[in-house]
């Protein structure tokens, strides 16, 4: 029996799954699984004559369930499509093989709308393991013993951020102690972790401005996208061309289901090969570039509030280890504020910018995180920055280990001028 199931696993895993997983799993946009992106090297990060003393980290919640809208889409559009795909393969010879059809046959969705956006089991694990690795790298800044004065944990008023914080502390401390960790009370209006949500000016000028989605729309209507929709439809054996909305939904669910379970590929990924996935990836990147990135100054100007919080911790007496659990929108605006991943020219819908640094699959996958670590050295204070657990060099610094004074000089004006009430007021 064991031999039989191993054999079965070997066949299925080797034939289609591993190849497809390899091809598209790194191009699933904001739904890319963190397990394909993090830095596995987790030994202590040492610099001569320096000691890691403080850490300040922002974390996007781990892998979550889809939104209510996408759950409804699964229950209606994708459920019907599954039957159409199977029917077309019964009446004509389609390109899917019997294994793949089997995967469709077995696909079912029993997600409850009430659990929309909840953190998944995989998301819990992402947080536990992220915490363990981070502590190994910076054992002095992140002590194994919990102390409610030196540790600070905050999350937004959402189940996924709250649970992410919770499981992160399970990774840091032993189970018993993690139950006594004090979390800052979450507030409905959180002007630090989710500053943009209640920024009236940003809501009006960016979020609800149709110009923000113009380039994405152009790309959605392009010849390249039309060909992609045709190709995806053919790969599934359909005799009609699927709409953009349907293919985007398939792409999202392909990302979610691949994130939820290791060694499992969602049948909704069968519509894509790497090239088609990259087209959808660019479509999603266009949205985030204009909504959460370099498109509008106001978008990233607001993130001064996070830099202010960082310097308060590093220059003041507050907590030595600060962990903030937030969202994609928070991380992207902060990355942009730091001038990271800026493409050479604005992303546009008329052609695909293949070499762009702005790529959600890399910079905004589930559990994305940005950490600043304060090193006390013989000749002063330095800051090390890590994104997705990899050391990065900030554009305003000469080296990875950057003097705290250099960073302060660069950001002090925007921090001193960081009045969110002013920045966000509609005149």
Residues that bind ligand NAG (CB under 6 A): 53, 91, 143, 147-148, 150, 182, 204-205, 209, 211, 221-223, 226, 239-240, 320
CB closer to ligand NAG out of 159 and 205: 205
**Residue 301 in contact with residue 257, Cβ under 8 Å?**
no
Residue entry with tokens 């995967």? 103
CB of 201 to ligand NAG, least distance (A): 9
Smallest distance from ligand NAG to CB 133, Å: 20
Report helix angle 274-292 to 328-337, nearest 10: 70
| Min separation Cβ 198 and ligand NAG, Å | 17
Shortest distance, CB of residue 47 to ligand NAG, whole angstroms?
15
Minimum CB–partner distance for residue 246 and ligand NAG (Å): 13
Closer CB to ligand NAG, 314 or 366, in the complex: 314
β-bridge pairing 151-155 and 402-403: unpaired
* Closest to ligand NAG by CB, 97 or 148: 148
Query: Which of residues 49 and 240 has its CB atom nearest to ligand NAG in the complex?
Result: 240
Q: Which is nearer to ligand NAG, 112 or 317 (CB)?
A: 317
Taking the complex as a whole, the smallest distance from the CB of residue 77 to ligand NAG amounts, in Å, to: 17
Q: Smallest distance, Å, CB 82 to ligand NAG?
A: 15
CA distance 333 to 293: 6
User: Nearest distance from residue 232's CB to ligand NAG, in Å?
Assistant: 14
Backbone angles phi, psi at 349, to 5 degrees: -90, -10
Least distance to ligand NAG from the beta carbon of 426, Å? 10
Instruction: State which residue, 122 or 152, has the beta carbon closest to ligand NAG.
Output: 152
User: Minimum distance from CB of 156 to ligand NAG (Å)?
Assistant: 21
| Closer residue to ligand NAG, CB minimum distance, 125 or 320 | 320
Those residues with Cβ within 8 angstroms of residue 401's Cβ, 6 or more apart along the chain or in another chain: 47, 50, 375, 382, 383, 384
* CB closer to ligand NAG, 34 vs 138: 138
């Amino acid at each position: 029996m064991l031999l039989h199931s191993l054999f079965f696993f070997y066949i299925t895993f080797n034939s289609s799954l591993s190849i497809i997983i390899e091809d598209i799993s790194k191009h699933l946009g904001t739904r890319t699984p963190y397990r394909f992106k993090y830095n596995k090297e987790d030994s202590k990060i040492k610099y001569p004559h320096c000691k890691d003393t403080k850490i300040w980290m922002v974390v996007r919640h781990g892998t979550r369930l889809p939104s209510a809208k996408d759950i409804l889409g699964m229950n209606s559009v994708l459920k019907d499509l599954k039957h159409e795909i199977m029917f077309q393969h019964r009446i004509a010879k389609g390109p899917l093989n019997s294994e793949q059809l089997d995967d469709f046959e077995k696909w079912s969705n029993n997600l409850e709308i009430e659990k929309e956006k909840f953190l998944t089991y995989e998301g819990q694990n992402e947080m536990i393991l992220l915490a363990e690795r981070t502590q190994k790298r910076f054992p002095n800044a992140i002590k194994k013993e919990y102390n409610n004065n030196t540790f600070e944990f905050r999350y937004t008023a959402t189940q996924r951020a709250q649970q992410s914080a919770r499981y992160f502390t399970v990774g840091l401390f032993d189970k018993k102690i993690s139950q006594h960790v004090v979390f800052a009370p979450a507030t409905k209006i959180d002007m630090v972790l989710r500053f943009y949500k209640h920024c009236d000016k940003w809501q009006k000028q960016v979020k609800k401005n149709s110009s923000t989605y113009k380039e994405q729309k152009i790309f959605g209507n392009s010849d390249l996208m039309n060909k992609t929709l045709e190709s995806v439809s053919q790969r599934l054996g359909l005799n009609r061309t699927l709409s953009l909305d349907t293919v985007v939904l398939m792409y999202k669910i392909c990302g979610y289901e691949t994130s939820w379970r290791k060694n499992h590929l969602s049948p909704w990924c069968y519509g894509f090969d790497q090239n088609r996935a990259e087209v959808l990836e660019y479509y999603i990147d266009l949205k985030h570039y204009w909504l959460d990135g370099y498109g509008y100054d106001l978008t990233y100007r607001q993130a001064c509030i996070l830099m202010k919080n960082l310097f308060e911790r590093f220059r003041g007496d507050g907590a030595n280890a600060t962990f903030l659990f937030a969202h994609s929108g928070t991380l992207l605006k902060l990355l942009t504020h730091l001038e990271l991943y800026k493409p050479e020219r604005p992303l546009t819908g008329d052609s695909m910018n293949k070499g762009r640094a702005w790529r959600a699959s890399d910079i905004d996958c589930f559990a994305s995180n940005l950490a600043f670590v304060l090193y006390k050295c013989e000749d002063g204070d330095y800051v090390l920055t890590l994104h997705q657990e990899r050391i990065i060099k900030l554009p305003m610094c000469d080296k990875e280990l950057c003097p705290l004074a250099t960073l302060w000089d660069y950001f002090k004006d925007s921090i001193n001028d960081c009045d969110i009430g002013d920045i966000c007021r509609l005149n």
